[in-house]
């Protein structure tokens, strides 16, 4: 199996001490930090924006895996890049031109990801797979942490993995939403190589972050 990376979502962290939470994740062996950005419009919830990312940037060298759930997304890409995002992931429904938004992220020398909601078909990203770095498969409806994993997205991960092999492409397959110690095995088997997790990492085993990251990675 390919190397599995864990991207903890700070949506489940203590927002009053985010830099300390990130330090804990770093010490526990997290591969990157998943930052969920919500606008109360594209999704029915509000979280954080570029100033928070910028202030956290000085506290860690870990990759900032920024998941933009905002619409229209294009005009904000540069702000997130300037704030210190390393991977910028957006939803196809949030831009007028996938081509232009992918191009802009690349121009800014950042990695680019495209996220598919549970009901969004692979077709929307198919023609761009050779141009992007990552596909983020949502296994819940975006908007909130702590939701239940939707097993119907497993076939989408399998299909993407098949396409990746057939076309000899290198994009990462990341899965996000409701990941626990059981379904983590299923998504890895289906072909995902990056697992996002908020609730399981921060809340299980009395918040033993290292134990939880290790269990998601190797379990």
Nearest-angstrom CA–CA distance, 159 and 162: 5
Catalytic residue among 31, 39, 65, 176: 176
**Based on CB atoms, which residue is closest to Zn ion, 67 or 164?**
67
Encode burial over 102-131: b for 16+ CB neighbours within 10 A, e otherwise: bebbeeeebbbbbbbbeebeeeebeebbeb
> Of 153, 198, 209, 213, which one interacts with ligand DX5 (CB under 6 A)?
198
> Of 50, 84, 177, 191, which one interacts with ligand DX5 (CB under 6 A)?
177
Q: How many CA atoms lie within 13 A of 79 on its CB side?
A: 13
> Of 64, 176, 191, 215, which one interacts with ligand DX5 (CB under 6 A)?
176
Nearest-angstrom CA–CA distance, 92 and 108: 19
176 belongs to the catalytic site: yes
Taking CB within 5 to 8 Å according to partner kind, which of Zn ion, ligand DX5, none is near residue 197?
Answer: ligand DX5
Nearest-angstrom CA–CA distance, 143 and 147: 9
Read off the DSSP letter of residue 39. Answer: B
Taking CB within 5 to 8 Å according to partner kind, which of ligand DX5, Zn ion, none is near residue 143?
Answer: ligand DX5
> Of 44, 51, 121, 146, which one interacts with ligand DX5 (CB under 6 A)?
146
34, two tokens: 């998943």
Contact positions vs ligand DX5 (CB under 6 A): 9, 11-12, 34, 36, 67, 140, 142-143, 145-147, 176-179, 196-200
Catalytically active residues are 36, 176
């Amino acid at each position: 199996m390919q190397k599995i990376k864990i991207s903890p979502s700070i949506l489940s962290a203590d927002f009053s001490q985010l830099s300390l939470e990130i330090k804990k994740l770093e010490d526990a062996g997290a591969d990157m930090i998943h930052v969920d950005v919500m606008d109360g419009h594209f999704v029915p919830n509000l979280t954080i924006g570029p100033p928070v990312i910028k202030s956290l940037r000085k506290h860690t060298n870990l990759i900032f895996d920024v998941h933009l759930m905002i619409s229209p997304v294009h005009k904000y890409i540069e702000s997130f890049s300037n704030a210190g995002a390393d991977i910028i992931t957006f939803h196809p429904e949030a831009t007028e031109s996938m081509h232009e938004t992918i191009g802009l992220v690349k121009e800014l020398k950042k990695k680019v990801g495209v996220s598919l909601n549970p009901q969004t078909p692979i077709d929307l990203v198919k023609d761009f797979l050779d141009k992007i770095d990552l596909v983020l498969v949502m296994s819940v409806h975006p908007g909130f942490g702590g939701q239940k994993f939707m097993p119907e997205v497993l076939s989408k991960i399998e299909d993407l993995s098949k396409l990746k092999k057939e076309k000899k492409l290198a994009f990462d397959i990341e899965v996000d939403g409701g990941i626990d110690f059981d379904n983590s095995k299923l998504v890895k088997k289906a072909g995902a190589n990056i697992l996002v997790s908020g609730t399981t990492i921060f809340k299980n085993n009395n918040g033993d972050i290292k134990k939880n990251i290790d269990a998601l990675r190797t379990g």
